[in-house]
Structure 1
Amino acid sequence: MNPYQLQGRTAIVTGGSSGIGLACVELLLQAGARVAFCGRDPGRLEAAQHHLRERFPEAQLLARVCDVLNADAVDAFASASLKALGPASVLINNAGQGRVSTFADTSGAAWSEELNLKFFSVINPVHAFKPQLDGQPEAAIVCVNSLLASQPEPHMVATSAARAGVLNLVRSMATEFAADGIRVNGILIGLVESGQWRRRFEAREERHLDWTQWTAQLAQRKQIPLGRLGLPIEAAQAILFLASPLSAYTTGSHIDVSGGLCRHA
């Protein structure tokens, strides 16, 4: 028996063509859900869809190019998924990456860009899909957030501030949407393997180090107690718990998925 209890339900994943998002799509399909996912890069989206259809040939799956900052595009994605797969009962918001900058070197335009990305990558999908979620039993929204929301870093000042705002937004939506039968939660990730970290690895100065050695040193410098970066699947498993009826009495909360990097209770 699949523990997630998501068989036959429709789930939406933004930023689903790689990393944590793609891991979520795979777990949802394993759980028997119908899944619609989107991404901005057509090539990456096509590659992800090809991989998924090879692995899950019988799956009910929709992949669509969509920029979540474009409200009209998100509305069109919502309409397409409704037509193809039926009304959504799960929405997983997973989009955006970190900006490395201090207060002194973050321009006004960079502040606007970062705040717009972090907020509207959640706001636009919620606006588009909430009418579908309203009619579904055990509906859930899960937002992928960062430990920066509660443990800011001075070299990522704009991202830390924006992530803190999203943490507050999750709590506010959870309170407001409870009357509609929709739970809203999030996860706080630490350092998780991603394309962004792969690019930093490729640009490393220590050319003698392989990926395992380089990430182990990174984990040591960052003082991660578990001594390594997290895996996308590890974040995805926490997301699916929050998206599923297994967490039926949980809303307005965040699960820490940081390998012990969090320094406060």
Structure 2
Amino acid sequence: MITIDLSDRVAVVTGGSSGIGLACVERFLEAGAAVAFCGRDQARLDAARDKLQQKYPQARLLAHACNVLDAEEVGAFADAVRSHFGRTDMLINNAGQGRVSTFATTTDDAWREELELKYFSLLRPTRAFLPMLREARGSIVCTNSLLALQPEPHMVATSSARAGVVSLTKSLATELAPDGVRVNSILVGLIESGQWRRRHAEQAREGQSWEDYTGELARKKGIPLGRLGLPDEAAQAIFFLATPMSSYTTGSHIDVSGGLAKHV
């Protein structure tokens, strides 16, 4: 296994209290980095922080409540990171969720909410942390979805917004390259999450295990590897793009979909 020492680096992860974000926090801690992560739910943040401190007693860790759609809160988060750690080398824009709706069922307000979520959950942290990222000649990685290239009719607003984030990532990579700041993204397919666990509890046949339920789901979706991805598998791709392991890569995206991608 390739190892890398990030003991002199600071990583910032939005949406870091669960799922892919929390897996990212762990990857960076294991490599020795200091990590700041945020989320909206204070109780969930506290629980994640406590669990991480128990698992990594020497961890340099900052958990900060923050709504990434609120410019003042994001600015306060960036100030806290600078005060606590003095720098930011890697920004992981991971906050966000999907909206299930068709064109016929998506209202104007729902379109606005979805576009704001997908764009500003990336734009506001990037603006707030960019001064430190320029100082560090650092990196930005965005968690995006395969829906950007393979839209689903039942997720029309999310698919459209995700496609825009691909273009935005490329534009940022070009604009920030002279500052030495790299910008990349991952495109995830179906990844195990609390949402899928809840669906299993609600939809599974009597006695149907999690493995059988997700295996059946993967077959229906046409995932060649025959299963859902793990949060850590997405985090590993993010880790690669965020660190000097990918020092000559910018404006790119990595497919993390188990072979579901047809256009990457």
Match of 1:28 in 2: 28
Match of 1:142 in 2: 141
Superposition map of 1:195-214 within 5 A? 195-204=194-203, 206-214=205-213
Note the residue ranges of structure 1 that are not aligned, 5 or more in a row: none
- TM-score normalised to the size of structure 1? 0.97
Count of residue pairs the alignment pairs up: 264
The question of whether the paired residues in 2 share the 8 Å contact of 1:90 and 1:243 is answered with yes
The question of whether the paired residues in 1 share the 8 Å contact of 2:204 and 2:213 is answered with no
How far has the Cα of 1:210 moved from its partner? 1.5
Match of 1:168 in 2: 167
Q: Deviations over 1:187-241 (max 9, x none)?
A: 0000000112122222215233121111011001000000000000000000000
Superposition map of 1:20-59 within 5 A? 20-59=20-59
Superposition map of 1:90-239 within 5 A? 90-137=90-137, 139-204=138-203, 206-239=205-238
Residue type at the aligned position of 2:78: A
Note the residue ranges of structure 2 that are not aligned, 5 or more in a row: none
Distance in 1 (CA, whole Å) between partners of 2:226 and 2:91 is 32
Residue type at the aligned position of 1:14: T
The question of whether the paired residues in 2 share the 8 Å contact of 1:100 and 1:155 is answered with yes
How far has the Cα of 1:264 moved from its partner? 2.7
Segment of structure 1 superposing worse, 115-124 or 194-203: 194-203
CA-atom RMSD, angstroms? 1.2
Distance in 2 (CA, whole Å) between partners of 1:7 and 1:175 is 29
How far has the Cα of 1:3 moved from its partner? 2.4
Superposition map of 1:1-20 within 5 A? 3-20=3-20
Secondary structure, aligned partner of 2:214? helix
Distance in 2 (CA, whole Å) between partners of 1:264 and 1:88 is 34
The question of whether the paired residues in 2 share the 8 Å contact of 1:226 and 1:260 is answered with yes
Q: Deviations over 1:41-95 (max 9, x none)?
A: 1111111001100011111100011100001000000000111111101000001
Residue type at the aligned position of 2:106: T
Distance in 2 (CA, whole Å) between partners of 1:69 and 1:136 is 25
The question of whether the paired residues in 2 share the 8 Å contact of 1:4 and 1:240 is answered with no
The question of whether the paired residues in 1 share the 8 Å contact of 2:148 and 2:159 is answered with yes
The question of whether the paired residues in 2 share the 8 Å contact of 1:145 and 1:189 is answered with yes
Distance in 1 (CA, whole Å) between partners of 2:260 and 2:2 is 31
Distance in 1 (CA, whole Å) between partners of 2:169 and 2:253 is 9
Residue type at the aligned position of 1:166: V
Secondary structure, aligned partner of 2:89? strand
Secondary structure, aligned partner of 2:100? coil
- TM-score normalised to the size of structure 2? 0.98
Distance in 2 (CA, whole Å) between partners of 1:42 and 1:154 is 34
Distance in 2 (CA, whole Å) between partners of 1:149 and 1:5 is 33
How far has the Cα of 1:97 moved from its partner? 1.1
How far has the Cα of 1:7 moved from its partner? 2.1
Distance in 2 (CA, whole Å) between partners of 1:4 and 1:213 is 37
